[in-house]
Amino acid sequence: MAALISVLPSPTILDKVGILLCSDAQQPFLTIANIDLNRGDIVGYLLEELGLLTNLALFHINRASFVALWRESTRASCYCSSLISAIDQMEKQIVKGEELEKKADKKISSWGLFGSRYEDAAEFYQRAANSFKLAKSWDRAALVNIKLANCHLKLDSKQEAASAYVDAANCYKKTSNKQAIACLDQAVNLFLENGRLNMAARYSKNIGELYEQEQNFEMAIVYFERSADLFQSEEVTTSSNQCKQKVALFSAQMGKYPKAIEIYEEIARHSLNNNLLKYGVRGHLLNAGLCQLCKGDVVAIHNALERYQDLDPTFSRTREYKLLADLAAAVDEEDVATFTAVVKEFDSMTPLDTWKTTLLLRVKETLKAKELEEDDLT
């Protein structure tokens, strides 16, 4: 930037062409603050080097008197034209949406047959919501979808009302997870009333995922459990297991190890008899074993390893079993160095994910604390 400033003309000439220089508080030299080319007809190139002007506050180009000959003129001008056109289209869609929403409101408040009023209003609300979505006005689209859901409820069309709430939630996901959850909750209840258990399970899972994004693991557990039960009632085992694993994962994160162990062991048992799922058994048993280590009960850890061998005789020949057995021995000996070496060796062959690493660090910190306690006693 200093080199760029050094080759510029004198301040007087710069002022005439509309370039303002100022000093930067963090730098000892002058920088370009403003470029105002609204002074006359100028023809030239807009170079990529303009991006180096990091302190530029104003770059004024009056398109009536300035012609820019871009090196990639076609692509650049098309981009600008497309951008302006897109903005114009969005504004038109908002106006259209507002008009349709007003027509729907007017239909509801007007005289006429009860059913006919709400059917006509629902059609207008649907079209208004689509217009707001095209304009990316997500909150407006969501609010209109809620009005649409209320119309369907007046017509006793619970399926359509639930779908409208889902549409509202999808719009709110762009702006507010809290509002999205509220709409999905309404949809789930309507699907349950209508006997659509699979749909209720799907959107209960969706709510759990939104709570996960918000780091609200307690509520995430509630909805993933609900989803798991609903999927299980519909015999969608794979989806049910996925939700149960989420419950186990969050339970372990919150220190509820017995609950996590119970879930992982249950999934492992059920997976053994399924040709598609049996290859994941050693992973579930590893997760259960790590939760056992976090409990800190050495006897329980060894008992669990014996149970896992009885459950799946092939487990004792896996690297996951060896990891758990070596870690259990290190915990029994209260040997932090060996514990660390065992983890490092396994991780070099099979990288550990964040969840497993977190649990192992908890076990290691417990071992360190015991080590320090013994040092203090001696």
- Within-domain flag for 118: yes
- Per-residue exposure over 50-61, b if at least 16 CB sit within 10 Å of its own CB, e if not: eeeeeeeeeeee
What SS3 class is residue 65?
coil
Q: What is the pLDDT of residues 130-154, one digit of tens each?
A: 999 999 999 999 999 999 999 999 9
Instruction: State whether 138 and 177 are in the same domain.
Output: yes
3-state secondary structure of 59: strand
Domain extent, residue 25, equals: 2-72
What pLDDT, on a 0 to 100 scale, did the predictor assign at position 32? 65
Residue 190 shares a structural domain with residue 205? no
**Helical pair 354-377 and 281-295, crossing angle rounded to 10 deg:** 30
Strands 30-36 and 58-60: parallel
3-state secondary structure (DSSP) of residue 32? strand
Same structural domain, 12 and 98: no
- Tell me: do 191 and 204 sit in the same domain: no
Helices assigned H by DSSP within the chain: 2-6, 11-17, 73-109, 114-134, 138-154, 158-172, 177-193, 197-213, 217-233, 237-253, 257-271, 281-295, 298-311, 319-333, 336-349, 354-377
Domain endpoint, select from 72, 107, 132: 72
Query: What's the burial of 202, exposed, middle or buried (CB within 10 Å: 0-12/13-18/19+)?
Result: buried
Question: What is residue 196's predicted lDDT score, i.e. its pLDDT?
Answer: 96
Distance CA 247, CA 28 (A): 57
Question: Across the strands, what pairs with 35?
Answer: 19, 59
On whether residue 51 sits in a domain, the answer given is yes
Does 294 lie in the same domain as 239? no
Claim to verify: residue 105 and residue 188 sit in the same structural domain: yes
Return the CATH number at 179. Answer: 1.25.40.10
Q: How many CB atoms lie within 10 A of CB 334?
A: 15
Tell me the torsion sign for CA atoms 224, 227, 229, 231.
Answer: negative
Which residue, of 195, 216, 240, is where some domain finishes? 195
188 and 206 fall within a common domain: no
Please indicate, yes or no, whether residues 220 and 297 belong to a single structural domain of this protein.
no
Q: Is residue 359 part of a domain?
A: yes
pLDDT at 56: 61
Residue 113: its pLDDT value, please?
61
Q: Residue 90's pLDDT is what?
A: 84
Query: How many domains does the chain contain in total?
Result: 4
Question: What phi-psi label fits residue 110: left (phi over 0), alpha (psi between -120 and 50 degrees) or beta?
Answer: beta
pLDDT value of residue 296: 87
Q: Quick one: tokens of 352?
A: 């550990």
Between the CA atoms of 45, 46, 48 and 49, what dihedral angle is there, to the nearest 10 degrees? Answer: 90
Residue 80 lies in a domain: no
Burial class (CB in 10 A: 0-12, 13-18, 19+), 362: middle
| Residues in contact with 29: Cβ distance below 8 Å, sequence separation at least 6, in sequence order | 1, 2, 5, 23
Average pLDDT over the chain, rounded to an integer: 84
Residues 291 and 204 in one domain: no
The predicted structure's pLDDT at residue 83? 52
pLDDT at residue 69, as a whole number? 41
157 inside domain: yes
User: What type of residue is 152?
Assistant: H
8-state DSSP, 28: S
Same domain, 362 and 276: yes
pLDDT per position as a tens digit, 159-182: 999 999 999 999 999 999 999 999
The list of the chain residues with pLDDT below 70 reads 1-87, 112-115, 374-378
Let me know the angle formed at the C-alpha of 329 by 323 and 334, rounded to the nearest 5 degrees.
120
Residue 241 shares a structural domain with residue 210: yes
Residues 354 and 293 in one domain: yes
Residue 329 in any domain: the answer is yes
Residue 259 belongs to a domain: no
Can you tell me the distance from the alpha carbon of 333 to that of 330, in angstroms, rounded to the nearest whole number? Answer: 5
Q: Are 268 and 311 in contact (CB under 8 A)?
A: yes
Residue 85 falls within a domain, yes or no? no
